[in-house]
Amino acid sequence: MNPSKYSRTRRLFLQRSAALGAVGMAPLALQLEAIAAAAAQNVEPRVNPKAGGGGIDLSAAAPNYKALVCLFMYGGNDNANFIIPYDQAEYDKYALDRTNLAVARTGDPTVQVTAQTSTNMNLRGLIPLGPLANQGGRTLAFHPNVGKNNVTDPAQFRNDGLPWLWDQGKLAVIANTGPLAVPLTKTEYNNKSKPRPQNLYSHSDQQNTWMNSTAAGYSSTGVGGRIAELVDSQNVPPQGQPKIATCISIAGVNTYQVAETAQAYQINSSGPVGISPVAFFSYNNNTAINNSITAAFNEQITRLRGNHFETQWGSMMNYSLQTKTAITNALAANPLPGSITFRTSGNSLSSQLRMVAKLINASAQLGMVRQIFFVQIGGFDTHGNEFHPQNNTNWNRITEAVYDFYQAMAGIGAANQVTLFSASEFGRTLDSNGLGSDHGWGGHQFVTGGAVQGGQMYGTFPAVALGSADDIGRGSLLPTVSTDQVHANLATWFGLTGTEVNDILPNLQNFSPTNLGFL
């Protein structure tokens, strides 16, 4: 589980370099296409395309299917303005300590809000949650950005996005979670008497730590990749089709999906990206030239070689091309119902989740029983005066994309089979640096889907005040829920046994409960 970082084999190096698909080949000056069809000439659609579009009822066609979707918020999401105390006394303390970063408790509901003016959304006032019985009766609130756009009636703010999902019991909040090797008190943290995550407050280190859930030590694999190793055998392709990777990223290479042997694949929001050929048109024998290029490339990627590097490169390239063809065929044969829409204008996260929805809708044709997806949104590293406008815009994009994704899953009968969860490398400081916020530790995350026990908060919501028991400096939160506990709940729902969950999360037994119960 924790090998030396210098012990990666040639096989793993090549696998992780090439298996993420043909995307990395697209920028090459010499691009070679039609090769995709030639290398995958026996890969055909298993079902006929639906004449009028539409989808399948996945719960009926594939009742054992399940998917996890990791939504990673790069830069460190500002937890203190995601979930805000609403009770007046608590809010007053929050506003005092946040100074220029505070969001108004109440506002002017007549403020016109559109996607283009989302920087003004926080003028509308908070969206209350609660009182919450398991949080001592406290009433908390969402940031105004997660409410419905383009309305001025406060009663309508909850009819979209995360508030709607919360009210329908389809979204839960996990309070004050972050990487931990063992439970820590503030005294133990200050005394350095117990291990803590390495390189706290470092973006890259904490992104990896969140994704591999190894708070102390090193892991060459991510949690999603380790889960994939255990479920990969359940995905059996139909005859004549390649085996599709359990892990698919629509947002580039990431630590979460790295595995020892299970394949991973990377596409973009428009679908698989192939490699296309140099085409010659100005010669009399251009057809013969182009056919020769295709044939030469196919010979390169299919023939047996004595050199392990060359053999691995060829097999991975061949796999990528076959996968591209199989996925392209499946997407064409299984379009989403016309009633499903995503608000993708200016919202790359929405475009990513739309592609995830398309892949899930086509999963039965590809023989998929378990899938793990990765999407991302950046821009949370708000140290300056971009703090309010950038966070406002990001939460507007997140809430619309996640809501539309849930509605898409409901539309294809997969709402109970797909769980989306958020993650971010760390939270941010409660106090201001004069303009924006700085790097923290613990933060609040959410999980949504038909199987989620929603409308509830899991873990303990901290006191939002400088100098509290959870404050390790400037309002940076000492986590009270470990990432291991979050990943364990997701993995258990995904079908892993208790022994398997403990194997992929070696620090889990240090925490109680090991299952938070949100699924």
- 52 falls in which pLDDT band (50, 70, 90)? very low
Can you give the pLDDT at residue 38?
A: 37
Residue 50 has pLDDT above 90, yes or no: no
Can you give the pLDDT at residue 488?
A: 98
Residue 501 has pLDDT above 50, yes or no: yes
Can you give the pLDDT at residue 107?
A: 79
Q: Rounded to whole angstroms, how far apart are CA atoms 364 and 63?
A: 10
Can you give the pLDDT at residue 275?
A: 64
**Average pLDDT rounded to a whole number, residues 359-366:** 97
DSSP state of 416: G
Can you give the pLDDT at residue 249?
A: 97
Residue 384 has pLDDT above 90, yes or no: yes
Q: Which long-range contacts (CB under 8 A, 24 or more apart) does 138-141 make?
A: 138/85, 138/87, 138/90, 138/461, 139/85, 139/86, 139/87, 140/83, 140/84, 140/85, 140/86, 140/457, 140/461, 141/83, 141/84, 141/85, 141/86, 141/105
Which two three-digit tokens encode residue 97? 């300590």
Residue ranges with strand state E in 231-354: 247-249, 264-266
Q: Rounded to whole angstroms, how far apart are CA atoms 476 and 480?
A: 12
Can you give the pLDDT at residue 111?
A: 61
CA-based nearest residue to 416, from 389, 452, 451, 465: 451
- What angle, 0 to 180 degrees and rounded to 10, lies between the N-to-C axes of helices 223-231 and 483-494? 20
- 152 falls in which pLDDT band (50, 70, 90)? confident
Residue 236 has pLDDT above 90, yes or no: yes
- 61 falls in which pLDDT band (50, 70, 90)? confident
The whole model's pTM is what? 0.87
Q: Rounded to whole angstroms, how far apart are CA atoms 296 and 294?
A: 5
Which two three-digit tokens encode residue 399? 């809430």
Looking from the CA of 347 toward its CB, the CA atoms found within 13 Å total: 25
Can you give the pLDDT at residue 21?
A: 42
Can you give the pLDDT at residue 217?
A: 79
Cis before 513? omega within 30: yes
Q: Rounded to whole angstroms, how far apart are CA atoms 149 and 188?
A: 45
**Average pLDDT rounded to a whole number, residues 136-164:** 88
List beta partners, residue 372. 68, 247
| Ranges 50-64, 83-97, 281-295, most confident | 83-97
Residue 8 has pLDDT above 80, yes or no: no
8 Å CB contact between 206 and 200: yes
Can you give the pLDDT at residue 29?
A: 26
Q: Rounded to whole angstroms, how far apart are CA atoms 411 and 305?
A: 48
**Residue 168, SS3?**
coil
Can you give the pLDDT at residue 77?
A: 97
Residue 471 has pLDDT above 70, yes or no: yes
pLDDT over 90 percentage in the chain: 68
Q: Rounded to whole angstroms, how far apart are CA atoms 220 and 214?
A: 10
Which two three-digit tokens encode residue 115? 């996607």
**Residue 344, SS3?**
coil
**Average pLDDT rounded to a whole number, residues 378-392:** 94
**Residue 439, SS3?**
strand
Q: Rounded to whole angstroms, how far apart are CA atoms 16 and 13?
A: 5
Can you give the pLDDT at residue 519?
A: 98
CA-based nearest residue to 22, from 322, 367, 261: 322
- 55 falls in which pLDDT band (50, 70, 90)? low
Alpha helices in 99-202 (DSSP H): 161-167, 186-191
Which two three-digit tokens encode residue 58? 């996945």
- 162 falls in which pLDDT band (50, 70, 90)? very high
- 147 falls in which pLDDT band (50, 70, 90)? confident
pLDDT tens for 194-229 read 999 989 999 999 999 999 999 887 899 999 999 999
**Average pLDDT rounded to a whole number, residues 380-401:** 94
Can you give the pLDDT at residue 25?
A: 35
Can you give the pLDDT at residue 120?
A: 53
- 306 falls in which pLDDT band (50, 70, 90)? confident
Can you give the pLDDT at residue 289?
A: 76
Average pLDDT value for the chain: 86
Residue 439 has pLDDT above 50, yes or no: yes
- Cα→Cα distances 201→174, 386, 442, 469, 486, Å: 20, 20, 11, 20, 20
**Average pLDDT rounded to a whole number, residues 163-183:** 97
Residue 234 has pLDDT above 50, yes or no: yes
